[in-house]
A and B are shown apart, each in its own frame.
Chain A
Amino acid sequence: MTRYNFWFFISLVIALIVALPILTVFFSFFSETSNYFNVLKNTFLFEYINNSLIILISVLIITFFIGVTSAYFVSFYDFPFSNFFSWALILAFAIPGYIFAFSIIAFFENYGTAYTILTNLFGEYNYNPLIPKFDSLVGSIIAISFSLFPYVFVLTRSSFLYQSNNYIEVGQNLGLSEKETFYKIILPSARPAIIAGLALVAMECLSDFGTVSFFSVNTLTTGIYNSWLSFDDLNTANQISFILLIFILLLFSLEIYSRREAKYHQPTRGFKPINKIKLTGKKSLIPFTFCFLIFFVSFIFPVSQMIFWTFKFPKYFQDIDILKINLNTLYLVGLASLCLVAISLLINFGSRISKSKILNYLTNFSISGYAIPGVILAVAFITFFSNLSDLITNNFNVGSTKHLFIGSISGLILAYFVRFFSLSFNGIKSSYEKINNSIDESAYLLGYSKVKTFSKIHVPYLKNNIILIIVLISLEIIKELPITMILRPFNFETFATQAYVYASQDLLEAAALPSLFLISWATILILFSSKYILSPKN
């Protein structure tokens, strides 16, 4: 078989598409600088970086504390509801940072939910001065932390859980106390997993747009968005993107490195599960209270806030065409997962039957998309297609082709594709690699062609995996805000954009209904995939 065959070209095209945003940002950085960037450099840029870093560091500290502590409690102790908490805490994944932010404001604002509760309990009084108000920076930090801590929780928990009891027993046998065992054996071996979790938190935190933009905090992401929207300056937007990308790519490599490390800490043979310590009475109070508080704040609080408002202001049931938004979401999710899964399967199959090394490098390259923040991706997308359109218009006698990809469903799907290709490609690959090569050969020898082997052996085997990938893609797309917001067609709303648009117009009560729908869908999808999320591999 030749080295440059059909499969090679397909993979090359996919790799190029996925690399588009990075390449665009890279080239823009070295192209001419508009005036605005100079102004920015002298004034706001340092504020952007400063705010981004303050949020990042605070979020890392909080998620580390919440994530590791709760993971420790549910992995090593048996207390009332400990099994419930071990999966319920991941429900926080269903609440995007911006919805958590809506809830904070809704609860603590003047005459907000807290005020109503106090009035109902203690009668009329001006409680407003008594209710604490959050600084917008603090609010962002809390909202982002509670929406991202599950990354640390999930990875740390699986590392604790799959730590063989043998090591702990050896430690005790060598005379270590319970405390020493934790600090000298358990924590060090979970370190790579914790770092990987924190790296993910950091990437997501730097990528966050909804929360900081709602709180009007100037960070790198809002800076990108504003220079595009308010100043119509794509170059500047891309230049800020470049700075942000450097941070992100550093974290991305840290995450990959830590995951590799984490593999060495996984026992293969002689695995014995941990004996959980049973806690009753007073002793169980600390872990129970801790986990309950986290669960309450991260999930119950925003959900009940949204429910409360949805029913307090029922008029929005009529104002918002919720059925249409459901259909829109379904449409996007369906189309995107179809493209992603089909192409991931195709590329995986191609690299399997052509066994080419170049193909492997190419596909590895195309997975970088996931690390790129949605805002950067969307702005880079617009930059690329505007330039392309201008190029075509100038050279050929055709009108603007911008609208083919900007403000259109096809553009939106393409952007989702870039962002989620690694998720779907790697998900399918990991499962595909478990099919032994001699299984394919057996099928050939039993008279099955390559295509028939694919449809009769591979696809049935990968079926569950494909469903799971679709669930995860759907979860991501439902929560996705900046890409959808920037690239969607005019008046095309998803739960996320509808909620955000209302919220940014100070119509928080109207944002409740789409938010509640978003949370419900996300919760269902999380429950569906919880077994996978909680497994040791992820």
Chain B
Amino acid sequence: MSKNFFEIRNGHFLASEKNKVNNVNLKIEKQGDIVTLLGPSGVGKTTILRTIAGLQKINSGEIYLKNKIISSENFHLEPEKRNIALSFQDNSLFPNYKVIDNINFGKKRSNGNGFEIKASHIIKLLHIEAILEKYPHQISAGEAQRVSLARSIMSKPDLLLLDEPFSNIDQSLKDEIQYSVKNLLKKISLTTILVTHDSFEAFSLADKCGVILNQELKQFDVPYSVHHEPNSLEVAKFLNRGVFVEVEVIETDCAVHSLKHSVLGEIRGKLVNNFPVGSKVKLLLQPEDLIHDDQSKLKLEVIDRKFRGTNFIYTLKTIHDEQIPVFVHSHHIHQHEKNEKFGIKTPIFIDHLVCF
């Protein structure tokens, strides 16, 4: 028996030979938590959601909801009996019912975790007041997604599954809706699993975030840790936060650990993983780790410069042909052209030293 609100134990999910996820262990301890699953397109995120919802059978392993088994190799609770809502990525509104009737479709259900919610509240929150009397074919893809979300919430499920719920919504509206949906879910304490390929969305919404890569759940942790302390090279590379440079471990005994790079010199900080002194490792260097300083003696050549609105990303080259990105605030007084020398403040200090 599981003590958690929701749990997947040794889950093997299979949609096709290529599209599978193995050995998933995932727990949601308490009701009301929001979990996001992050991964590239086609990795099997949707398969996991469909299996949890009961639309597909699990290959092996068990899924528990509220201490009851809902899926295993030999047992399959029909989707209509699970009280799990899934908001599909594509439009799945009933074409012959108006938007408002679609939203109220699951309302009559008596089960659920007992939260009280008014349709009018959700409708206002999701900005769909104007289209209530329209039919699904008369509204846009983004509107359809919001209606589908409203319908899923209104059915008062124990568990809400969202498959890329904001993918078709305009950028200008997206942030606001993400914010208000998160607040609503928290307020009514509706446990949610959300699938996305957008890491910002995954981090900002989640209590816990899982990263699925190469048919495995690589990391399942709070968003801050996933971002700052990726547990594998693959996760770090997927999140695409920076580059890896070769360093040597110098000092691990003190509170501040120390590494040495052949060009950048000493790098201080706290090692996330333990390595013996003298080992050669790869260090993750993110653009915000290095600080620009014209006075510094450490100077590198600029080979590229990209304008990113609030900042520039300079790409610097070391004599060993390593390319290093550096953020510089775009209000910075002067700019550096290609082939110019660019100073970096020493010694370098990085909070989390992510090495593999």
Contact = CB atoms under 8 A, between A and B. Distances in A.
Size class of the B contact interface (CB-based, 8 Å): 20 to 34
Nearest to A444: B79
Nearest to A453: B80
A441 interface: yes
B94 interface: yes
B90 A445 contact: no
B220 interface: no
Interface string B74-106: 000011111111101011111110000000011
Interface in A427-457: 434-436, 438-439, 441-449, 457
Contacts of B94: 439, 442-443, 457, 461
Contacts of A445: 53, 55, 79-80, 82, 84-86, 152, 155, 157
Contact of B88 (A442, A448, A457): A442
Contacts of A334: none
Contacts of B81: 447
A460 interface: yes
Chain B contact surface mostly: loop
A442 B106 CA distance: 10
Chain A contact surface mostly: helix
Nearest to A459: B96
B91 A436 contact: yes
A444 B80 contact: yes
Nearest to A460: B96
Contacts of A446: 80, 85, 105-106, 109, 151, 155
A487 to B, nearest CB: 39
Contact of A444 (B78, B90, B157): B78
A345 to B, nearest CB: 16
Interface in A37-92: none
B96 A447 contact: no
Contacts of A448: 80
Interface string A454-483: 000100110000000000000000000000
Nearest to B85: A445
B203 to A, nearest CB: 27
Given A447-B109, A449-B80, A441 B88 contact: yes
A442 B148 CA distance: 9
Interface in B50-68: 50, 53-55
Given A446-B85, A447-B83, A439 B92 contact: yes
Contacts of A442: 86, 88, 92-94, 148, 151
Nearest to B87: A442
Given A446-B155, A447-B109, A441 B83 contact: no
Contacts of B54: 444
Contacts of B91: 436, 438
A438 B56 CA distance: 13
Best-buried of A444, A446, A460 by chain B (most CB within 10 Å): A446
A434 B94 CA distance: 11
Nearest to B111: A447
A444 B85 CA distance: 9
Contacts of A457: 94, 96
Contacts of B80: 444-449
Interface string B146-163: 001001100101000000
A447 B55 CA distance: 13
Contacts of B92: 436, 438-439, 441-442
Contacts of B50: 441
A461 B95 contact: yes
A211 B28 CA distance: 77
A442 B147 CA distance: 13
Nearest to A437: B92
A339 B33 CA distance: 53
A447 B90 contact: no
A441 B84 CA distance: 12
Contacts of B106: 446-447
Contacts of A434: 95
A443 B102 CA distance: 10
A439 B94 CA distance: 6
Nearest to B53: A445
Contacts of B86: 441-442, 445
Contacts of A436: 90-92
A441 B163 CA distance: 14
Contacts of B96: 457, 460-461
A434 B91 CA distance: 13
Contacts of B105: 446
Contacts of A461: 94-96
B329 to A, nearest CB: 46
B69 to A, nearest CB: 19
Best-buried of A436, A438, A442 by chain B (most CB within 10 Å): A442
A448 B151 CA distance: 14
Nearest to A439: B92
B52 to A, nearest CB: 11
Contacts of B83: 447
A435 B97 CA distance: 13
A112 B102 CA distance: 65
A442 B109 CA distance: 14
Contacts of A438: 88, 90-92
A324 to B, nearest CB: 40
Contacts of B157: 445
A441 B55 contact: yes
A441 B90 contact: no
Nearest to A462: B96
B95 A439 contact: yes
Nearest to B91: A436
Contacts of B79: 441, 444-445
B88 A435 contact: no
A418 B226 CA distance: 64
A435 B81 CA distance: 23
B78 A447 contact: no
Interface in A94-113: none
Nearest to A446: B106
Contacts of B90: 436, 438
Nearest to A441: B55
B334 to A, nearest CB: 51
Contacts of A447: 80-81, 83, 106, 109, 155
A256 to B, nearest CB: 29
A457 B102 CA distance: 11
Nearest to B110: A447
Interface of A: 434-436, 438-439, 441-449, 457, 460-461
10 contacts: A439-B92, A441-B92, A442-B93, A444-B54, A444-B78, A445-B53, A445-B85, A446-B85, A447-B106, A447-B155
Given A438-B91, A439-B95, A449-B78, 9 more contacts: A441-B53, A441-B79, A442-B86, A442-B93, A445-B80, A446-B109, A446-B151, A447-B80, A457-B94
| 9 A-B pairs with the lowest CB-CB distances in the bound complex, closest first | A446-B106, A438-B92, A444-B79, A442-B92, A461-B96, A438-B88, A444-B80, A446-B155, A447-B80
Interface of B: 50, 53-55, 78-86, 88, 90-96, 105-106, 109, 148, 151-152, 155, 157
